[in-house]
Structure 1
């Protein structure tokens, strides 16, 4: 299935189609929303919020949230979408940056794979949260699945648990949870984008994935952590002493 990555670099047309496909994938989104919900706290910040689809779900669990984007057009779109929500702040943020904050959590879904200096990006997110605050990171998994769709959407890498563990350690973050998710999605993504050379975007394949594959895979993975998946899920924490 199309990999719903929040695009930062790469072909803008394909990036827009990826975000539209993500907007269609409601079951997938609710599944992945749940990974971050327990760690939001009272004042989370989302790094690269895209069209704001995830944020709209998290705002059911927190009254205040900061949304960031590197793209000027998406900043405007986010401000328009959340204009009536008094607890939402929208701002520009590039990674890595020399910024700091006192947020309760920093959430980054499919962002680090676009950044050359991903450890610098993690350090920026670390500096945005208060000591003891959490980082919730989702990135695409397994370098063997890097194909034309990844390159077109600006990916410079895909991760494994090992490489994510190393990056989190280099950024002085404590690991709370680290696992793969969406095992069936990885198989579908590899076949469609690497073997069949299809580009991600809205359409029948996304609909089939979201109505059939995603609910089945989520149910399967409630009882066990698969040894592979389309995504690496990392929950990390800024040490209390820092």
Structure 2
């Protein structure tokens, strides 16, 4: 079954995320909701084993996601619009990768996502780490903030989640990728003058590989870094956090 290609950063992130999922959703057939599914690279992977629903604001990205799901032969429900347009809850997993930093009222978003979970369900997030690292690329793609691990964990607990855990990733490759992205963004100050909504919509399309060959090269090139980052769970440029709803 063909899998959509992942960016280098997404490969680093998926190495962490996939192991969290293996621990919390070991069986297939779970009801999964992804908020901000983008072009569907992660969604197709989730839909291989679970009953998957993805919600995305950007129509262009969702069109790509639908094509990828069809090509992979997976059954995926893909909805364009705000999460409020989805009349469904009771999910086993709600996930949002590189989304919460785009939302001005993050506490409200976390509460809305948590409300979609069944008792015992898992909320799983990823986001850029460390506000001190906020740079030109964060501005260019419509980020409101980056997160300290303890601060994000506190927000998740305030939303009603328990057993909250965090894990940093990206050591050492993430630092190189971030520096390159910031350098590119610094050369385009005009982009940062656009509306936040437009920058956010475009963010899911940036740096995305489109061919199987590109995907294979990236997968091979990032493999040693995916392994290396496991030795540095407290260091990195990216943050994964998860917690459960009390039963």
Mapped contact 2:123–2:243 kept (Cα < 8 A): yes
Distance 1:226 1:208, change over 3 A: farther
Alignment RMSD, CA only? 3.1
Distance 1:198 1:60, change over 3 A: farther
Partner of 1:236: 243
Mapped contact 1:179–1:225 kept (Cα < 8 A): no
- Give the CA deviation at 1:207: 9.3
Counterpart Cα distance in 2 of 1:124 and 1:30: 24
Partner of 1:124: 112
> Which SS does the other structure have where 2:123 is aligned?
strand
Relative to the length of structure 2, the TM-score reads: 0.73
Mapped contact 2:48–2:74 kept (Cα < 8 A): no
- Select the residue among 121, 130, 138 that pairs with 1:150: 138
Counterpart Cα distance in 2 of 1:83 and 1:132: 31
Partner of 2:223: 215
Mapped contact 1:102–1:128 kept (Cα < 8 A): yes
Partner of 1:16: none
Q: Could you report, residue by residue, the CA deviation over 1:2-35 in whole angstroms, capped at 9, with x for unpaired residues?
A: xxxxxxxxxxxxxxxxxxxx74447446525514
- Give the CA deviation at 1:99: 6.4
Question: Unaligned stretches of 5+ in structure 1?
Answer: 1-21
- Select the residue among 66, 69, 88 that pairs with 1:82: 69
Distance 1:180 1:24, change over 3 A: closer
Mapped contact 2:52–2:75 kept (Cα < 8 A): yes
Partner of 2:160: 172
Mapped contact 2:6–2:218 kept (Cα < 8 A): no
Q: Paired residues, what number?
A: 214
Mapped contact 1:104–1:130 kept (Cα < 8 A): yes
- Give the CA deviation at 1:217: 2.8
Q: Could you report, residue by residue, the CA deviation over 1:144-195 in whole angstroms, capped at 9, with x for unpaired residues?
A: 2211111111111111111111211221111342121112134214432446
- Select the residue among 29, 37, 50 that pairs with 1:49: 37
Q: Could you report, residue by residue, the CA deviation over 1:11-65 in whole angstroms, capped at 9, with x for unpaired residues?
A: xxxxxxxxxxx74447446525514532346111111100000111122322x11
The range that moved more, 85-94 or 118-127, is 85-94
Partner of 1:58: 46
Question: Unaligned stretches of 5+ in structure 2?
Answer: 189-205, 210-214
> Which SS does the other structure have where 1:159 is aligned?
coil
